[in-house]
Amino acid sequence: MREKTARRWLVRGRVQGVGYRYFAQKSALKLGLRGYTRNLDDGRVEVYAVGSKAALDEYAGLLHQGPRWAEVHGVTQEEAAPERHSSFEIVG
């Protein structure tokens, strides 16, 4: 079994109300990642994903781009403890 890694991102900019969470979910599922994304009260979007290091690296690049209508102004990334998730969900 491959070793799983987890990361958490906080994305700021115009990222709520523009389909960012759906973009994050679709991209994660395409890369075989599991986890979640949710809007935060301060206008940012939180993304948590578990998967291979290579998939997470590719995913990080996509999160910096976002969907067409988003304006990503910054992304902070941190390592996180791997949690069990059966899929990638939009929560909250």
pTM of the predicted structure, to 2 decimals: 0.95
Nearest-CA neighbor of 84 among 6, 26, 2?
Answer: 6
State residue 2's pLDDT score: 57
> Any idea where the domains of the chain sit in the sequence?
5-82
Angstrom distance (rounded) from CA 15 to CA 63? 10
Per annotation, catalytic residue among 8, 14, 39, 44? 39
* CATH of region 5-82: 3.30.70.100
Cα dihedral sign for 19, 22, 27, 33?
Answer: positive
Is 12 catalytic? The answer is no
Q: Which of 2, 7, 21, 84 is catalytic?
A: 21
Give the span between the Cα atoms of 51 and 67, in whole angstroms.
22
Say whether 39 is catalytic. yes
One pLDDT digit (tens) per residue for the chain, 92 residues: 456 899 999 999 999 999 999 999 999 999 999 999 999 999 999 999 999 999 999 999 999 999 999 999 999 999 999 999 999 999 97
Would you state the pLDDT for residue 3? Answer: 66
